[in-house]
Structure 1
């Protein structure tokens, strides 16, 4: 299950030394480079015959006690296809082995890797910056702030507004503490022992999920982040209320408490120099009315025989958390894109994502200064970042067509599914980050309108 938290996924000095080791060419003529620049590991993969395009990949948020190998694409099979078709791939792991809220150093590390690539490998004809989960913020900010260095942006399961994301997680943790663990010593911010607070919240969730009353309150908590009940990417969307809430509970446990709860809040406080998160002035009754999950909550409370008004009153009466001004300013500097689009941006998102809810896409679309340079594609599937290589490469091809011709291709779902369906089954595999392995899944591009985000850091 903890593999889910990839998603919710960055001090390099210009003169910092770089070390590189070029592996002996493989039988197929490819080359691999690995090394360290200013304390950040990197990996570069070169095809036998380079087509001139470099894909610079930014990974997502790795919480404490969590780490992953250094990936250069979202779907593992994408790497194979891209190298076979002439693309160069590069990625930095960032400082601190990529663990924590590292947007500021991640941007420097990625630029340093691009500098190294241009000096040691060759200057790309074009560079596309891609990002997965919180890496979408990194990719978007890189393109906004260094427009001459990037020709296009591809985001996957993107978080665009991290301040929004973590404030929504705060709302969910706050609701769990208030309604499911009243009186317990649980600190959400400035915690003396954030791990103990995290474990106490998870224990409260586990107690609640086995009763109708507890599940109703978990549905209420999920509603404050537009968290869906489609956690399993290899299974159909749950059709019954209990199944829906049980999968919402998985999102709450693993994405919103274990990954983005007290330990993440403590990490952000360290980076930002204080607490940037808060819920002063938030009216949770109004938030519920605006939530995409409102009807689920109403039905769950009716079936449990609970008084929703009383629970909302308890939330209203609970002591609030105030953000600290300088820490908020830091988050705006390193976590909230402006919406400038100096390069075309194409995004790919699953409709059931509860780790980076689809409302992030709607928020970003409302910020962009040139809507003609943005296209957003949707895959009808649960899970976070649960795309096949066929879907990922199909999205990339659409972006490259825009770069080549100045026009977007036909992006109707039927055309996209037909294009992705032509790939071999090997490239149709989808990973279930919840722990159920991989399976071949048919392409699932669809039309979708995401809900409004409930805690925007900036309005369009």
Structure 2
């Protein structure tokens, strides 16, 4: 689970009392509070350059404890050192909270402008799930931003993410039916949604270990290493079931989908479980988690090498979509750096933001 946890931020529940400026590290002022259930903080460096960065964090598993006051993300310090004010929301809910995060971030942006006068430009920068929040915010509120950066971002519409995750779970269920410690109905079942993540991970890892040949088929299709495969599959299960819970049912189906790349594709297509989407859930995901490609502000995208969470075929989706719809300017994709998921140095984070300005 290390790739997942690398982008998890331990954020704090804050009291509903009026925010008060306090002195923070690096000679910065810090203001914190809560907006409609979403803890937030604003840090301003001593030598502020007049620009504001809305910093959107990645996936935080449901139930992860939050601290008081909200803890700044690791990227706050280098952005402050570069002269930027940094505002960040913990979001009102945990889990795959993209829709909440878009709303909470916009509400915070509006509030920050009442606290911080004479903002020259506002930028948005997000990691992992926060990358999707960044792009959606640029699409929906272009008038409020000078540009944005998506780092190691899940830059796909909710329905497409759900389809990819469902394929993962159904492929596992096909090759590893009735695996020990897992529901007999499979990873895509409601029974799997109720299992603790550690139980899912252990059951998946044990099954994969007993049949390395079929494990290699899934790893090749997912574009991850065999070592990373248990964590990737268990993460896919976690996120898909959260999407289903939030939307009120399975938001995607595979009836009529023709799969390839799973060895004996005829046998796979004949034997893989077929699931119908719940129409209301599908409609909700399409409405709340849509990405159109129609970005109207400078957008910089950057990934890491060998990322087991945002794999290569996911990384190309948004730039291709933007090109198809004729977005101007087109997103700028920087060369990959680092290894794994969200492995960026402090210097690289600031450089990516500077690239959005150029």
When the two structures are superposed, what TM-score results if normalisation uses the length of structure 2? 0.86
- Aligned pair count? 343
Deviation for aligned residue 1:314:
4.6
**Secondary structure, in 3 states, of the residue corresponding to 1:323?**
coil
**CA distance in 1: counterparts of 2:66 and 2:128, whole angstroms:** 14
Deviation for aligned residue 1:380:
4.7
**Secondary structure, in 3 states, of the residue corresponding to 1:56?**
strand
Name which of 223, 236, 248 aligns with 1:260. 236
Deviation for aligned residue 1:216:
2.0
**Against the structure 1 CA distance between its residues 264 and 361, is the aligned structure 2 distance closer, same or farther, given a 3 Å change threshold?**
closer
Alignment of 1:279-428 (within 5 A): 279-284=254-259, 286-288=260-262, 308-309=263-264, 313-314=267-268, 316-368=270-322, 369-370=326-327, 372-401=329-358
**CA distance in 2: counterparts of 1:216 and 1:371, whole angstroms:** 45
1:102-135: per-residue Cα shift (whole Å, max 9, x none)? 2222112111111111001224210111111111
**Secondary structure, in 3 states, of the residue corresponding to 1:333?**
helix
**Against the structure 1 CA distance between its residues 372 and 343, is the aligned structure 2 distance closer, same or farther, given a 3 Å change threshold?**
closer
**CA distance in 2: counterparts of 1:194 and 1:25, whole angstroms:** 41
Q: Which residue of 1 aligns with 2:13?
A: none
**CA distance in 1: counterparts of 2:114 and 2:174, whole angstroms:** 55
**CA distance in 2: counterparts of 1:19 and 1:260, whole angstroms:** 39
Q: Which residue of 2 aligns with 1:57?
A: 55
CA contact (8 A) 1:103 1:138 kept: yes
1:44-100: per-residue Cα shift (whole Å, max 9, x none)? 111002101111011122233446775655xx2x4323212311011100012xx12
Unaligned runs of at least 5 residues, structure 1: 10-16, 230-244, 289-307, 402-460
CA contact (8 A) 1:35 1:42 kept: yes
**CA distance in 2: counterparts of 1:165 and 1:8, whole angstroms:** 19
Name which of 148, 158, 176 aligns with 1:180. 176
**Against the structure 1 CA distance between its residues 223 and 336, is the aligned structure 2 distance closer, same or farther, given a 3 Å change threshold?**
farther
**Against the structure 1 CA distance between its residues 210 and 267, is the aligned structure 2 distance closer, same or farther, given a 3 Å change threshold?**
closer
CA contact (8 A) 1:350 1:380 kept: yes
CA contact (8 A) 1:53 1:88 kept: yes
Q: Highest CA radius of gyration, 1 or 2?
A: 1
Deviation for aligned residue 1:3:
5.8
1:327-364: per-residue Cα shift (whole Å, max 9, x none)? 12222222231111211000110131120113233111
**Against the structure 1 CA distance between its residues 312 and 220, is the aligned structure 2 distance closer, same or farther, given a 3 Å change threshold?**
farther
**CA distance in 2: counterparts of 1:19 and 1:36, whole angstroms:** 9
CA contact (8 A) 1:175 1:315 kept: no
**Against the structure 1 CA distance between its residues 323 and 188, is the aligned structure 2 distance closer, same or farther, given a 3 Å change threshold?**
farther
**CA distance in 1: counterparts of 2:108 and 2:220, whole angstroms:** 40
Deviation for aligned residue 1:209:
4.0
CA contact (8 A) 2:38 2:89 kept: yes
| C-alpha RMSD over aligned residues | 2.7
Alignment of 1:1-400 (within 5 A): 1-2=1-2, 4-5=4-5, 7=7, 19-24=18-23, 29-66=27-64, 73=73, 76=74, 78-96=75-93, 99-161=94-156, 162-182=158-178, 185-189=184-188, 191-192=190-191, 194-196=193-195, 201-211=200-210, 214-225=211-222, 227-229=223-225, 245=226, 247=227, 250=228, 252-257=229-234, 259-261=235-237, 263-284=238-259, 286-288=260-262, 308-309=263-264, 313-314=267-268, 316-368=270-322, 369-370=326-327, 372-400=329-357
**Against the structure 1 CA distance between its residues 166 and 68, is the aligned structure 2 distance closer, same or farther, given a 3 Å change threshold?**
farther
**Secondary structure, in 3 states, of the residue corresponding to 2:107?**
helix
**Against the structure 1 CA distance between its residues 202 and 314, is the aligned structure 2 distance closer, same or farther, given a 3 Å change threshold?**
farther
Q: Which residue of 2 aligns with 1:457?
A: none
**CA distance in 2: counterparts of 1:382 and 1:276, whole angstroms:** 32
CA contact (8 A) 1:72 1:90 kept: no
CA contact (8 A) 1:47 1:86 kept: yes
